[in-house]
Structure 1
Amino acid sequence: MIWTHAVIVFLCLCPIYAAFGQDCPSRQDMQSSLKQVQKLLSTHEAAYLQSLRTLRKKLTLLQNTATKQTGKANNDTCLKLDTPANSRKLGKAQTPGHEVHFLCDAGYELVGAESRMCQESLTWSGQQPTCRNINECASSPCLNGGTCVDEVNQFSCTCTKGWAGATCQSPVPTFFVTMTNTSSATPSAAAAISPPAVTVGPFVRPSRCTQVQDTTHCTCDPGYTISGRDSTTCTDIDECELFHMGQAGRLCLHACVNTPGGYRCTCPAGYNVTRDGRNCKDIDECATRQNNCTRDQMCINTYGGFQCVRVDCPRIRNATYSKTSPLRCERNPCSVDNRVCSQAPNSISHHFLSVVSNLSAPRTMFRVSALRLMGDTLRFSLLGRGQARRHFTVQRSDRQTGQLVLGSPVLGPATLEAEVEMTELEKGVQLGRYITKITMFISQYEF
């Protein structure tokens, strides 16, 4: 076929040569030219076939990749984790690299991993935790022979005779006076004696007197005492002053209010008095919906209050981010020639901690770990200056974990912020950056 077309071309050229007064090429010249044309066409044909084969391979590869990705999209998730009894689970993502966290209800303590991560093998790291009831009687809080009864998130004491209070820390005063009555006509008889009329009020009461064999006994109700030499009047005992610092410590964790015949403990705003009547328990305004956070905000419970926060993805030149969870933003893929984008953080996550005032230090507040080490070096560092540098340091606890350490106690109320950067390197070349922002809300009180 190629030869036929070549001959036709040359035959058609002969009249053209004749028209310009030139001789038609000889047969030998024509054969030589035809061989060159054949060689040229064979080369083009081979290149064309090779291109077709390469294109076919690429199409097959793309088709296989698309099929695998479709299958992955349906199955590339870890199995859903159950929420342990008496706890709540934070986090819903089940794809590799994402974590879920567990928090036990009040009165229960966590046994096992606080968080679990979906691994590349589509299995969860660690073991499923449980929440067990805290035994409030383990520390033997009941004093003076009292019996402790463990309850959910609290305890109660059954006191022995002569003791009272939440932890049987207060003696029950039984005051009496003895008077000799020589005019008694029947010394062997026991009779009640009516005291003279006295002015009484909530903190003053008349005593109760009885006569037995020329002796008069006057007693007061619990919480009252005989007023000096006047055996007919009982005055209230100020337990808040008398038992301010007893064997069990302060009578009340926060404030004590004296009442007729007793006392009561009060707590600051944002706290409730516990069932033992002495301690203060934080009110979770987020769980009880006692907050004014809007729909685009997250409610973070703090000791004595709450905070409304909104997490927005950063705006970095030549890089864009998408929210993959309420507290995490991940960088969208960068173009090959966009070096600024490739140097931007791969992800930025936010964490909020509620801390009591004057927390003892040094203390580890947060840990940052790599799921798997991509390069040959993993570096942890503390970003920012000023407040963060004054209170925090970053230390390495193992090859793949860094920890944020509080260096000194901080008096509340205050808010501290720190940024921990984790960088993956391969022979000094950056492979990825990951930033974790930790915000600590420090309460006004130490309890």
Structure 2
Amino acid sequence: MILIGLCLFQDCPSRQEIQGSLKQVQKLLSAHEASYLQSLRNLKKKINLLQSNAGRQASKAINSTCMKLDAPVNGRKLGKSHSIGHEVHFLCDPGYELVGSESRICQENLIWSGQQPTCRDINECASSPCLNGGTCMDEVNQFSCVCAKGWAGATCQNHTHHRAATTGPFVRPSRCTIVQGTTHCTCEPGYTISGRDSNTCTDIDECELFHNGQAGRLCLHACVNTAGGYRCSCPVGYDVTQDGRSCRDIDECATRQNNCTNDQMCINTYGGFQCVRVDCPKIPNATYVKTSPMRCERNPCPVDNKACSQAPNSFSYHYLAVVSNLSAPRVMFRVSALRQMGDTLRFSLLGGRQARRHFTVQRSDRLTGQLMLVSPVQGPATLEAEVEMSELERRVHLGKYITKVTMFVSQYEF
């Protein structure tokens, strides 16, 4: 009826042109119908999965907690939930060391994993700190020395009849003996004779003396000179490794040493952590719902809403922690399609000048694009990049998917 009415006022299109137009409309509707049906199937699967999980959780609700765990003597317990899958951690007070499991998980059989830990007093006398026949007395987080006759000092290092007096922990008297009428004086390890004064020993500053030795620096971060020795220190957010030289990142998220709220996710970074909250974007003519903690999907569009159908189908969020001055070029993230509906898949980098200064997007295969870091980044810094994956059928837009990558760059390189 509509086509006949138009023919009264203008030239009618040919039958071949009408059939061609109808075929194009039919193909476009078929593509939209396939996409809509697939979205319905995915939604149905998610609803079934949620119902199944809810049923399993309800069946476990009765008597689904492990027995209460107590904090060890001279220690404390982190974590209050005793439900299946939950974890508790144990810490000891200063001067005590943990023996047993550092963390325990409530298992499906309602039995805690691992063994109940205890806090054992650290024996400060194990290293024999008292010199010259002194007796070590172990105390909480410290020790004291009962010196033999003729000796005094915190570690019985000073001879009470010696003429030289100490002026602090970095200056100590030497030990002198007379052999065949000749006096020989020596110093404790970490000290050396002070010039011509054989009666006085001064501390050796190992940090300065071995700063650039043949075997490399004593410490990979910072060296602290101590009386008779040295120690390596690390910046906030790091622990000294077992070799005593390097630094190891502290996972504040795993050890619950963070202040993230319940509606935030804790992202561990090198030397710290970040509290992030993923909210679905606000876009005109389209609405989004969170389908997982890191993903938002577009609600179905009305048939006549073209602006909605051209909005991104989904947004996914990813967070990376990297060290400073990471070598480049380097692949940082990959975006891939599980299946391809159209005949063309395109990948592109969104964002401003900063994103294009440090990143580029390349195709690694037919269904995968990769975000590349093209220049090293000096930390501390936070970089953001957006990768757009578009599906097309004969140059007709079928859908696009946005992946937002946030990279937290640490201040240090180790």
Q: TM-score range by the shorter chain?
A: 0.5 to 0.7
Change (3 A) 1:70 1:239: closer
What one-letter code is carried by the residue in structure 1 that aligns with 2:172?
R
SS at match of 2:185: strand
Residue in structure 1 matched with residue 173 of structure 2 by the alignment: 206
**Given that residues 285 and 301 in structure 1 are in contact (C-alpha distance below 8 angstroms), is that contact kept between their aligned partners in structure 2?**
yes
Letter in 1 for 2:222: A
Which residues of 2 match residues 311-390 of structure 1 at below 5 A?
311-390=278-357
Q: Partner of 1:245: helix, strand, or coil? A: coil
Instruction: Tell me which residue corresponds to 1:243.
Output: 210
Counterparts in 2 of 1:296 and 1:74: CA distance versus 1, 3 Å: closer
Q: Provide the rounded CA distance (Å) in 1 between the counterparts of 2:296 and 2:390.
A: 17
Structure 1 partner of 2:251: 284
| Equivalence for 1:182 | none
- Please identify the structure whose Cα radius of gyration is greater: 1
User: For 1:385-416, what per-residue CA distance to the aligned partner results, in whole angstroms no more than 9, with x for missing partners?
Assistant: 11101111111112211111111111111111
Match of 1:420 in 2: 387
Distance 2:226 2:46 in 1: 69
Q: 204-213 or 395-404, which moves further after superposition?
A: 204-213
1:194 positional shift = 10
Unpaired segments ≥5 residues, structure 1: 1-65, 80-192
SS at match of 2:282: coil
- How far off is 1:290 after superposition? 2.1
**Alignment correspondent of 1:269:** 236
In structure 1, give the amino acid aligned to 2:318: H
Cα pair distance change 1:278/1:229, threshold 3 Å? same
User: Cα distance, 1:249 vs. partner?
Assistant: 2.2
Change (3 A) 1:194 1:76: closer
Aligned to 2:191: 224
Q: Secondary structure at the match of 1:388?
A: helix
Letter in 2 for 1:372: R
In 2 relative to 1, CA 284–249 (structure 1 residues): closer, same or farther, beyond 3 Å? same
Contact kept, 8 Å, 1:194 with 1:209, in 2: the verdict is: no
Pairing of 1:44-83 with structure 2 (within 5 A): 74=48
Work out whether 1:253 is the aligned partner of 2:220: yes
1:443 alignment partner in structure 2: 410
Q: Percent identity?
A: 79
Distance between the aligned counterparts of 1:378 and 1:71, measured in 2? 26
Q: Secondary structure at the match of 1:341?
A: helix
C-alpha distance in structure 2 between counterparts of 1:236 and 1:294, whole Å: 49
Provide closer, same or farther for how the CA distance between residues 70 and 365 of structure 1 changes in structure 2, counting only shifts above 3 A. closer
Residue in 1 aligned with 2:265?
298
CA deviation profile, 1:295-315 (whole Å, cap 9, x unmatched): 221111112222111111112
Contact 1:195–1:232 under 8 Å retained in 2: no
Cα pair distance change 1:411/1:71, threshold 3 Å = closer
Partner of 2:358: 391
Give, as a single letter, the amino acid of the residue that structure 2 aligns with 1:300. I
Contact 1:195 1:206 in 2 (8 A): no
Shift of 1:71: 9.4
- The runs of at least 4 consecutive aligned structure 1 residues that moved more than 6 Å come to 69-73, 75-79
In the alignment of these two chains, the number of paired residues is 268
| Aligned residue among 197, 205, 208 for 2:163 | 197
Q: 1:439 to 1:398 in 2, by over 3 A?
A: same
Task: Letter of the 2:163 partner, please give it.
Answer: A
Within a 5 Å distance, the mapping from 1:42-191 to structure 2 comes to 74=48
Q: 2:268 and 2:44 mapped to 1: Cα distance?
A: 41
Taking only aligned residues, the RMSD between alpha carbons, in angstroms, comes to: 2.8
Partners of 1:224 and 1:266 lie apart in 2 by 22
Q: Which amino acid aligns with 1:197?
A: R
Q: Which runs of 5+ in 2 are unaligned?
A: 1-39, 54-158
Distance 2:49 2:265 in 1: 31
Paired residues of 1:195 and 1:207 also in contact (CA < 8 A): no
Residue of structure 2 aligned with 1:408, choices 375, 384, 399: 375
Any conservation in 2 of the 1:379–1:422 contact (CA below 8 Å)? yes
- Per-residue CA shift, 1:185-213, capped at 9, x if unaligned? xxxxxxxx999511212111122223334
The alignment partner of 1:246 has SS state of: coil
Matched letter for residue 242 of structure 2: R
> Which residue of the partner structure matches residue 103 of structure 1?
none
TM-score, structure 2 as length reference: 0.60
Deviation at 1:73, TM superposition (A): 6.2
CA distance in 2, matches of 1:353, 1:261: 43
Change over 3 Å in CA distance of 1:296–1:362 after alignment to 2: same
Report the secondary structure of 2:268's partner residue.
strand
Measured after TM superposition, the shift of residue 336 of structure 1 is 2.2
